[in-house]
Structure 1
Amino acid sequence: MSRAVGWRLVFPILVGKALRALARVRGGGSAFPGWFVLKLAPTFIESVTSQLSHGVVVVLGSNGKSTTTNMLTGIVRAHGLRVFTNPSGANLPQGIASSLLGQVSLTGRLPHDIGVVEVDEAFGVVICQALKPRAAVVLNVQIDQIYRLFEPERVAGMFRAIAGEVGETIVLNREDNFLSTLGDTLEAEGRLAVQWFGTASQVLADAPHGQVLARDYAHEDVARPSREVLAEVTASRGTLAAISWKGRQHELRLSARGLHNAVDAAGAITLAAADLGDDFRIDTALTALESLKTVYGRGEAITVGDRVVEILLMKSLASLQMNLDALEATPDSVLIAFDEHSRDPSWLYAADLSALAHVDYVSGPKAVFIALRLDYAGIPYDHVEPTIEKAVQAMLDGPRPASGRHTMLLDYDQMILARRHLGYRDLEADAA
């Protein structure tokens, strides 16, 4: 329905908008306004998103959610639909509610046609019970945040439960054993249409560590049926990728490097086609992908004077490894920062750091953990500066590297602080 939700939401929305304005004056987004509105109006998300004429699609996975959400949003917009989406990282109920506050009228009217929403797997069932998504894409199951999510088997179980809340279609990564098992189950049930995207075997063989997927030990020896994929990554080098769509090859240049970004593009194309149906146009989708800006902190390149600062996220083993694997040359100026909120530093020892020859600055509250890991790897480093702002500024004040590029490997909290120091304070505006 397109009408406003009604006057019962005026007071919660008014208070939420005021809190949101205050948060943005302070600098950056905040989930607190959303949390407060959900306390006043627990059905706020459901009531507002029920107006969307094309419903909601959701993006799930251990890694790549923000990038894929950005890609899918761009594709759907290019097809003429007005899209509501949540900024990167705002994937908990309070974050989604806070994002909605920035779009609704005082009476709860949402002037969009479709919702493209990134969802945290741990809260996925609750969120999807409110969103009632028509379709979903699940990108991967990887080792991620062990202190919060525990074993990948538990994450796979979360995706299985979330699938129960999806209305029509689910799109899965063919190369992920956990998702193949999920697909077997869903296809046997017959309630959802199951569609697949994938990566050519030679592309995977050429990738130093593949997609860094978690191993599904219980089902590794299970014979899998031959999966027909709609979109398949057939080449990936730097920002260049080739994707086969229904058997026809298409080349494109993405905004960020690496196989992981090409795989995310294949997932976004497949879900967009599933949701748009006969209205989907592959050429429109490819043009949209080539014109997108990088999601902040995910291979983002910021120009500072006569040099470029590239920010690569290292929130888990998979994200660090795939960003290292995507480097096209050994970086000549490197900063690595690790935050105290990253509770488990043990995964650093599972990472192959051989793409690095030298590190200039080690930073963050847990800089010593990075320094120790580099010592074990035999990689020299010059400075340990726990304060990220000081480390970033010292790097910028130093000699210009021969490449003209500073490569910063940062976990999530240090990434936000570094970007703010560089003048990028409003994450939501950056992502819009």
Structure 2
Amino acid sequence: MRSRLTVALGRTARTLARLRGGGSGGTAFPGLVMERTDPGFLARTLDRLPHGVVLVSGTNGKTTTTKMVVQLLRDQGLKVFTNRTGSNFVRGVLAALLTEVNAAGHLDADVAVLELDEAHAVHFVRSVRPRAALMLNVMRDQLDRFGEIDYTASLLRQAALATRDVVVVNADDPRLNGERFLGGLASRTAAFGVGPALRSVFLSDDDLRTEQADAGGAPGALADDAVESTAGADSPCPAPRVRLVALAGNEATIEVDGTEHRVAFAIPGIHNVLNACAALTLVLEVLGDRADLPRLLATLSEIRPAFGRGEVITLDGRPVQLSLVKNPAGFRMSLMSAPTAQADATSRTDTVDAGSAPSTTAAPAAGRGRPDELIMIAINDEYADGRDMSWLWDVDFTSLKRAGVAVVTGVRAWDMALRLRYDEVPVGVVEPDLEAGLDTLRARAAAEDRPMRVYTTYTAMLALRARLGRLTEVEEVMK
């Protein structure tokens, strides 16, 4: 009876929120109402699932990796509940439940796969102990909110301590692979990682501190052999069950339990290939002997980007790709994955494998003969973005010097334009208004018949998607 009343109250709150918002939105408010009026609803609902709850957290890659885990498990025959919009606070999970439960509060699912913000993961595990948890990485992000990076790691550790069966960690992240994080966990541990040839491509936050010492090379690269694995022989971190060992174009060589497999990925971005390794490790641990590895690898090859995370939208017959950027590491990987950077890199070599020197040329090669993308950078500083934009000065933008940036927009447009000037990147137009900035980009793309790419912070991405939704077909995602 309690759950029935909570569902009715939540749905009423959602209806009122949508009426007030003109028919859209309504995610946070009903979840907040449910959280305040019935704190036990979350646990009562999720604790009934036969395969429990799987938690995904970390600084970068949560939304895309969660989507991967969900698709992998569904293709293995499980019914999966998830907070698919990426609303990763507890109230977002509650609001997502509201759309899936029946009037009595019953959820027809085998397992829940939930993306959770680092701080809200701690709140969540006080109510629901996850069966499995995936900890992707710890990077500088929203330090005005979290304070400093070791505190972020401590939040993830609290979630790991509450996990019952298995915690999967990034073997190459020094804040996740050591005794300080893994010591005292009740669950077993598993790991994913990269091979030696790719260690200078996928850098930890500590590695990024020495990045500026490299005067040449592709954006974000370190000198050859400058980066070693941080998990030594005496580390409590197990050897990676899944390792990314080579990249060539859109194909990757992935080692699973000691055996190499070739996978051709549809999803853009070299960072997403590592996210795929993380997702695969988690799913193998959750499924155990029931895992169908060939089918899992086939599923990985077909996965498309989550909204705003490499998502490609067609506008006036031309592609516009949205790349979410929110910290130095994420912006660096997005720049490395763009054709403008790859075209320069592939003039040196097109393949990175276990026998070659480390290089950021691991990114898929840009198509020959295609017109260069027009680039727009949209920077906001709302609460969800992080108020402190000083992290932009830790990003190397020199890979944009040849192509330039057509439009800089958003609340912090002039700050971004100044940052680009210091790296001698040409800027066409500075327009703080997001809609006007998109219109300027659209007009130039039409005049020059060129594709578009937008690097955007979170709230700017939501605003731009809303604008694009009025201009062309865009997948509707309730936020």
- Do Structure 1 and Structure 2 share a fold, with TM-score over 0.5? yes
Residues 238 and 328, structure 1, Cα contact 8 Å, conserved in 2: no
Specify the alignment match of 1:31 in structure 2: 28
The separation in 2 between residues aligned to 1:414 and 1:294, in whole angstroms, is: 18
Confirm or deny that 1:353 pairs with 2:397: yes
Q: Give, in angstroms, the shift of residue 260 of structure 1.
A: 1.5
Q: Give, in angstroms, the shift of residue 243 of structure 1.
A: 1.0
The separation in 2 between residues aligned to 1:253 and 1:143, in whole angstroms, is: 31
Q: Give, in angstroms, the shift of residue 285 of structure 1.
A: 1.1
The separation in 2 between residues aligned to 1:336 and 1:190, in whole angstroms, is: 42
Q: Return the match for 2:287 from 276, 284, 292.
A: 276
Confirm or deny that 1:241 pairs with 2:238: no
Secondary structure at the aligned position of 2:33 is classed as: helix
Residues 29/300 of structure 1: CA separation in 2 closer, same or farther (3 Å cut) = farther
Q: Give, in angstroms, the shift of residue 118 of structure 1.
A: 0.7
Secondary structure at the aligned position of 2:398 is classed as: coil
Note the alpha carbon deviations across 1:315-367, whole angstroms, 9 max, x for none.
Answer: 11111111011123355311111113141111101101112121111111111
Residues 360 and 382, structure 1, Cα contact 8 Å, conserved in 2: yes
Specify the alignment match of 2:8 in structure 1: 14
> What is the 5 A alignment of 1:216-235?
223-225=232-234, 227-235=238-246
Q: Give, in angstroms, the shift of residue 425 of structure 1.
A: 7.0
Note the alpha carbon deviations across 1:115-163, whole angstroms, 9 max, x for none.
Answer: 0011111122220222211111111111111101121111111122111
Q: Return the match for 1:120 from 94, 98, 117.
A: 117
Residues 343/45 of structure 1: CA separation in 2 closer, same or farther (3 Å cut) = same
The separation in 1 between residues aligned to 2:429 and 2:320, in whole angstroms, is: 18
Residues 222/414 of structure 1: CA separation in 2 closer, same or farther (3 Å cut) = closer
> What is the 5 A alignment of 1:258-297?
258-297=269-308
Specify the alignment match of 1:256 in structure 2: 267
The separation in 2 between residues aligned to 1:394 and 1:269, in whole angstroms, is: 41
> What is the 5 A alignment of 1:274-353?
274-330=285-341, 331-341=372-382, 342-353=386-397
The separation in 2 between residues aligned to 1:97 and 1:211, in whole angstroms, is: 35
Q: Give, in angstroms, the shift of residue 250 of structure 1.
A: 1.7
Where structure 1 has 5 or more consecutive residues not aligned to the other structure, the ranges are 1-6
Residues 409 and 433, structure 2, Cα contact 8 Å, conserved in 1: yes
Specify the alignment match of 1:111 in structure 2: 108
Specify the alignment match of 1:373 in structure 2: 419
Confirm or deny that 1:91 pairs with 2:88: yes
The separation in 2 between residues aligned to 1:230 and 1:64, in whole angstroms, is: 19
Where structure 2 has 5 or more consecutive residues not aligned to the other structure, the ranges are 210-228, 342-371
Q: Give, in angstroms, the shift of residue 211 of structure 1.
A: 3.0
Residues 73/419 of structure 1: CA separation in 2 closer, same or farther (3 Å cut) = same
Q: Quick one: which amino acid aligns to residue 397 of structure 2? A: L
Residues 379 and 412, structure 2, Cα contact 8 Å, conserved in 1: yes
Q: Give, in angstroms, the shift of residue 190 of structure 1.
A: 6.4
Q: Give, in angstroms, the shift of residue 402 of structure 1.
A: 6.5
Q: Give, in angstroms, the shift of residue 405 of structure 1.
A: 1.6
Residues 307 and 405, structure 1, Cα contact 8 Å, conserved in 2: yes
Task: Pick which of 236-245 and 106-115 moved more.
Answer: 236-245
Residues 303/109 of structure 1: CA separation in 2 closer, same or farther (3 Å cut) = same
With structure 1 as the length reference, what TM-score do the two structures score?
0.90
Note the alpha carbon deviations across 1:346-395, whole angstroms, 9 max, x for none.
Answer: 11011011121211111111111111111111111111111111211221
Q: How many residues align?
A: 416
Task: Pick which of 247-256 and 146-155 moved more.
Answer: 247-256
The separation in 2 between residues aligned to 1:247 and 1:275, in whole angstroms, is: 19
Residues 200/29 of structure 1: CA separation in 2 closer, same or farther (3 Å cut) = farther
Residues 177 and 231, structure 2, Cα contact 8 Å, conserved in 1: no
The separation in 2 between residues aligned to 1:131 and 1:35, in whole angstroms, is: 17
The separation in 2 between residues aligned to 1:135 and 1:85, in whole angstroms, is: 14
Residues 163 and 186, structure 2, Cα contact 8 Å, conserved in 1: no
Residues 29/261 of structure 1: CA separation in 2 closer, same or farther (3 Å cut) = farther
With structure 2 as the length reference, what TM-score do the two structures score?
0.82
Q: Give, in angstroms, the shift of residue 297 of structure 1.
A: 0.7
What is the aligned-residue identity percentage?
Answer: 31
The separation in 2 between residues aligned to 1:140 and 1:280, in whole angstroms, is: 25
Residues 111/50 of structure 1: CA separation in 2 closer, same or farther (3 Å cut) = same
Specify the alignment match of 2:193 in structure 1: 198
Residues 400/413 of structure 1: CA separation in 2 closer, same or farther (3 Å cut) = same
Secondary structure at the aligned position of 1:175 is classed as: coil
Residues 268 and 305, structure 2, Cα contact 8 Å, conserved in 1: no
Note the alpha carbon deviations across 1:280-320, whole angstroms, 9 max, x for none.
Answer: 11112112222222101111111123210000011111111
Residues 212/164 of structure 1: CA separation in 2 closer, same or farther (3 Å cut) = closer
Q: Return the match for 1:213 from 202, 205, 220.
A: 205
Q: Quick one: which amino acid aligns to residue 12 of structure 1? A: T
RMSD, matched Cα: 2.3
Residues 327 and 355, structure 1, Cα contact 8 Å, conserved in 2: no
Specify the alignment match of 1:4 in structure 2: none
Q: Quick one: which amino acid aligns to residue 426 of structure 1? A: E
